[in-house]
Structure 1
């Protein structure tokens, strides 16, 4: 999760990077740093990679990534 100052308020960016290909495969932006933001980035990554099976996701274990959602 990255915090971006827009000049008036904070915006938030969640990004999923394919470490093998070394490129972003999913991202989402929001005005609220919640689990929906990270879920949207993960969904985009999953879909952009053709719904693969047996993949691993690594995060910093922040609350946005460990929620029940």
Structure 2
């Protein structure tokens, strides 16, 4: 579970820091974009983790 959490959080972390750095360099306020990136990443991660869990349960249960 921990490895899955780390693996699915890396894209989210990368997106957050790259978007934050780009807005900081440009001197603009990118709070809404950063929050939208985090929300979209969390939704995708939830769907991926849930799908893998359901498949594993179906195969092994």
TM class, shorter-length: 0.3 to 0.5
- Highest CA radius of gyration, 1 or 2? 2
* Higher strand proportion: 1
By relative contact order (CA 8 Å, sep 6+), the higher-ranking structure is 2
Higher helix share: 2
Q: TM-score, normalised by structure 1?
A: 0.34
